[in-house]
Chain A
Amino acid sequence: MKSKQKIDLVARDLTNEVHEANFIGAKMKSERRYAALGRDYADPDKLRETAGLVKQHTLEHLDKYLEQAEASFERNGAKVHFAFDEDTAKKTVLNIMNEHGCKSMVKSKSMLTEELELLHYLEDQGKEVIETDLGEFILQIDNDHPSHIVTPIVHKNRRGIAKSFEREGLGDYNDDPETITRRARAHLRQKYLDADIGLTGANFVSAESGRIVLVTNEGNARFCMAANKVHIAIVGIEKIVPTDQDLGLFLNLIGRSGTGQQLTVYNQFIGGPKLKDQPNGPEHMHVIFVDNRRTEVLASDCREILRCIRCGACLNVCPIYRQSGGHAYRSVYPGPVGAVLSPLLAGNRFPELADLPKASSLCGACNEVCPVNIPIPDLLLRLRDKAKREGAKEAMKGTPNLAMWATMCSQPTMWKAALTMGHTMNHIPTQLIPHPSAMSWQGTRKLPKFEGGEFRKWFKNRK
């Protein structure tokens, strides 16, 4: 069917195989989420509401909590860096590597590093970087991008992955998932030992204690740190929560919301480099707080999006994401959260991504599942208004002009005249209605019969 919206075209042209993978993956995770929360809590909405309030409070006092977090980290012996923009963030990582004489990095999954394109930057600077999350490792060897923030290779299937492994010399073709995993494991074990620096993100940062919290299902973040002398944690400034006690709420929500797990398999609490009497662990810990337009988002009328804890529940439940897949969003963050966050993080490239907030029927399922109760549909609407006011062409493609309609709707005489005149529509073949919206509509739907004014007449004459 004809369409001008890019995300709609991607959905139309997706192969059945990729569509199925996206759709089934998302649906399954939604069902698990629903079951896990419903089984364990009488009223999960109360939890979501509370978690949202905690995050919103933190964001509204971020200056205070960032200072507190910095002091806590330094008390624990970690070094804190602040990076206002993308370039500074990448250079900070490079400088730390050079300072400690590091050449080879193992890293765990971090959407922020995707945002910064850190991997390519470090490679260009002559460093070796290995992704150790299985999905991210597969993306790295395929030079591909994540299509989902929690399950980055949901768009792939095991046959394709088996071919990639064969190509990379990781064994003969074998598409048994367990074999693939074992081969990756054997390959990565050596990489952990060969590396000299480990980099992780952080799911949460407690300002009170200066602890970072990492949740994984593969334990790879632990390995990234275990054999290395230096640990870098690269963190978006919005990841802070006030106290350790708050973590109970968030850790109970993140696993259940994202994958339907009561708790993710590995939950690490890292409070600085190793202490003198500890036998193992990195001797140096660097925490890099990255802004990269987050303060701009904080100053905007869409600041609630910074509450996001990257669980992916909104992607999984979203009927548009289910049809289009994550790559359709042309940005690091896909799905409903991405449709808000990506155009905002694009800064003056906002017009290029201004169509993303249009890719929603505003059904509200995302808000209903969000563990921090982000009013995503409201934010999508605010961005639609912004796109219209700023004349962003990508956003307006395929949207009918509603100026005439608004005039008619604010003048009752015109409205009533149109109600009467509309009856002529019943006498012309509907396929001939020259309006593009009506033509597009009728490809798959029959228009209803026009009955304008009938009810008003009936109401006047009743009794």
Chain B
Amino acid sequence: MSLLHTPPNRPTGKSVQLMTTCLCDAFYSDVAKATVEILDFLGCEIELPDGQTCCGQPAFNAGDWANSRKVIRHAEKTFSGDKPIIVPSGSCAAMIFHGALLAFEKEEDLPAIKAFGERTWELVDYIVYGLGITQWPGKFDAKMTFHRSCHLRGSRSPEAVNALLTSVEGVDLQPIDEVEQCCGFGGTFSVSFPNISEKMGELKIENLTACKPDVVAAGDMGCMMHFGGMMDKQGMPYKRMHIAQVLRDSLKNAGKL
């Protein structure tokens, strides 16, 4: 139950710009590779703007809007043009089409920032509602749970993920309890509120692993870095994958890649 925050009438062409996200740039290169491989498979022409860094969210959430604007301005200039911008993260996408507008509400360059947001898509939202693909021709034998990260609220990404995953041959997507509850990451929140963050993480892990899945999937590496880091510390055996990796590997399993 959520009202949409995503901008209407975003461009849907197949010539796209890829926003890697700072986390994939620094820590999760395979997620970025998987994103490229599935966009390639769909026939997209991908441009990777070289000057890209971060979407500005860490400072924005920390309340340091002046520094956040510096980073957002840089991002807007880096992703110039009118192509759709594809991001393998609901969080960075929401930062650009929703958060940035707040940070710039009193700034002169708000129109440019708004236009930037009006081209930005979370990856799976783009595949399903941008390109109109609702069947994924892959194969992946696994019992799976999906962490609906908080920044997917107010978007159609959760429906999109559900449509694609349930169409993959072999995927047994299991519902989880308390899907609306946050995993406790929240960027700098996890640093300044370590005790609450950890308790939230424990509850999320409990719900995500209650059915003993083969794979715990998510659309945001921020959340996964936090609760995945907790799972690793506790030596939990569940495999974790970004949704892009699931889609890419399913194509490989089906011999399509």
A residues whose Cβ falls under 8 Å from a Cβ of B:
1-5, 7-9, 11-12, 27, 34, 37-38, 44-45, 48-49, 301, 317, 319-320, 323-324, 357-365, 367-369, 373, 378, 381-385, 387-388, 395-400, 402-403, 405-410, 412, 415, 419, 422, 437, 440-441, 443-456, 458-459, 462
Q: Which residues of chain A are near B24, meaning CB under 8 Å?
A: 455
Do the beta carbons of B62 and A400 come within 8 Å of each other?
Answer: yes
CB distance from A126 to the nearest CB of B (A): 44
A403 to B63, CA, bound (A): 12
Alpha-carbon distance between A58 and B127 when the two chains are bound, in angstroms: 41
Which among A49, A410, A462 is the interface contact of B71 at CB below 8 angstroms? A410
Judge whether B26 and A406 touch: CB under 8 Å. Answer: no
Residues of A within 8 A of B61 (CB): 362, 381, 384
Given A49-B3, A364-B154, the answer on whether A402 and B58 have CB atoms closer than 8 Å is yes
CB-defined A-B contacts under 8 Å, sample of 27: A3-B192, A3-B194, A7-B196, A8-B192, A8-B196, A319-B181, A319-B203, A324-B196, A358-B63, A361-B190, A363-B153, A364-B2, A364-B151, A364-B153, A368-B2, A385-B103, A388-B64, A398-B193, A409-B56, A409-B70, A410-B74, A412-B50, A444-B229, A448-B27, A450-B26, A451-B27, A455-B29
Given contacts A368-B1, A444-B201, A444-B229, 16 further A-B contacts (CB under 8 A): A3-B193, A8-B195, A361-B182, A364-B154, A381-B99, A385-B65, A387-B63, A402-B67, A407-B70, A440-B191, A444-B230, A445-B229, A446-B229, A452-B27, A458-B33, A459-B33
Task: Determine if A382 and B102 form an interchain contact, defined as CB atoms under 8 angstroms apart.
Answer: yes
Whether the pair B26, A412 counts as a contact (CB closer than 8 A) is: no
Q: Mark B41-78, 1 if CB is under 8 A from A, else 0.
A: 00000001011111010111111110110110110001
B226 within 8 A of partner (CB): yes
Select the residue from B64, B151, B201 with max chain A CB neighbours within 10 A.
B64
* Chain A positions within 8 Å of B193 at CB level: 3, 5, 7-8, 11, 320, 358-359, 361, 398
User: SS class of chain B's interface: helix, strand, loop or mixed?
Assistant: helix
Cβ A403 vs Cβ B67 within 8 A: yes
A210 to B70, CA, bound (A): 51
CB distance from A307 to the nearest CB of B (A): 14
Residue in B closest to A454 when the chains form the complex, CB atoms: B29
| Alpha-carbon gap, A456 to B185, bound state (A) | 27
Q: Which residues of A contact B153 (CB under 8 A)?
A: 363-365, 367-368
Q: Mark B186-217, 1 if CB is under 8 A from A, else 0.
A: 10111111111111110100000000000000
Q: Which 4 A-B pairs have the closest CB atoms?
A: A361-B186, A384-B63, A445-B229, A398-B192
Nearest CB of A to B25, in Å: 6
Number of interface residues of B (CB under 8 A): 73
Asked whether B182 lies within 8 Å of A365 as measured between CB atoms, the reply is: yes
Residues from chain B with Cβ under 8 Å of A415 in the complex: 53
Q: Give the shortest distance, in Å, between B6 (CB) and chain A (any CB).
A: 14
A441 pairs with B191, CB closer than 8 A: yes
- Chain B hits for A455, CB < 8 A: 20, 24-25, 29, 32-33
Contacting residue for A410 out of B53, B105, B186, CB 8 A: B53
Q: Are A399 and B180 in contact (CB under 8 A)?
A: no
Q: Which of A48, A359, A368, A462 contacts B180 (CB 8 A)?
A: A368
Q: Return the contact of B198 from the options A363, A402, A444, A454 (Cβ within 8 A).
A: A444
Q: How far is the CA of A201 from the CA of B80 in the complex (A)?
A: 55
Residues of chain B with a CB closer than 8 A to A12's CB: 195
Q: B141 contacts the other chain (Cβ, under 8 Å)?
A: no
With known contacts A368-B1, A385-B65, A406–B198 Cβ distance under 8 A: no
Question: Which of B102, B190, B233 has a CB less than 8 Å from the CB of A381?
Answer: B102
Q: Is B36 an interface residue (CB 8 A)?
A: yes
The dominant DSSP class at the A interface is helix
Chain B: minimal CB distance from A365 (Å): 5
CB pair A395 B63 closer than 8 Å? yes
Q: Given A410-B70, A445-B229, A446-B229, A399–B195 Cβ distance below 8 Å?
A: no
Whether B182 and A462, one on each chain, are in contact in the complex, defined by CB atoms closer than 8 angstroms, is no
Identify the closest chain A residue to B204 (Cβ): A319
Query: In the complex, what residues of A have CB within 8 A of residue B196's CB?
Result: 7-8, 11, 319-320, 323-324, 359
Q: Within B217-238, which residues are at the interface with A (CB < 8 Å)?
A: 225-226, 228-230, 232-233
> Cα distance A443–B234 when bound, in Å?
11
In the complex, the chain A residue whose C-beta lies closest to that of B106 is: A301
Q: Which of B1, B22, B71, B178 contacts A45 (CB 8 A)?
A: B1
- Distance in Å from the Cβ of A252 to the closest Cβ of chain B? 15
What residues on B are CB-neighbors of A400 within 8 Å? 62, 188, 191
**A130 smallest CB distance to B (angstroms):** 37
CA–CA, A364 and B98, complex, Å = 13
Known: A45-B3, A362-B150, A448-B28. A410 touches B62 (CB 8 A): no
Task: Return the chain A residue nearest B235 by Cβ.
Answer: A446
* Min CB–CB distance A356 → chain B (angstroms): 12
Assuming A363-B186, A450-B26, is B63 touching A445 (CB within 8 A)?
Answer: no
How far apart are A380's CB and chain B's nearest CB, in angstroms? 9
Residues of B within 8 A of A365 (CB): 150, 153, 180-182
Cβ of B184 within 8 Å of any chain A Cβ, yes or no, is yes
Instruction: Point out the residue from A323, A384, A408, A448 that lies within 8 Å of B62, measured CB to CB.
Output: A384
* A367 CA / B197 CA spacing, docked (Å): 20
Q: Is the CB of B26 within 8 A of A2?
A: no
Q: Which residues of chain B are within 8 angstroms of A446 by Cβ–Cβ distance?
A: 229, 232-233
Chain A minimum-CB-distance residue to B193 = A8
Q: How far is the CA of A69 from the CA of B22 in the complex (A)?
A: 54
Tell me if A323 and B199 are in contact (CB < 8 A): yes
A361 adjacent to B150 (CB under 8 Å): yes
Kindly state the separation between the CA atoms of A283 and B233 in the bound complex, as whole angstroms. Answer: 69
Q: Complex formed: what's the CA distance from A114 to B33 in Å?
A: 57
The residue among B20, B36, B59, B70 with the most chain A CB atoms within 10 A of its own CB is: B59
Chain B residues in 8 Å Cβ range of A422 = 26
CA distance in complex: A324, B195 (Å): 10
Q: Look across to chain B and name the residue whose beta carbon is closest to the beta carbon of A385.
A: B65
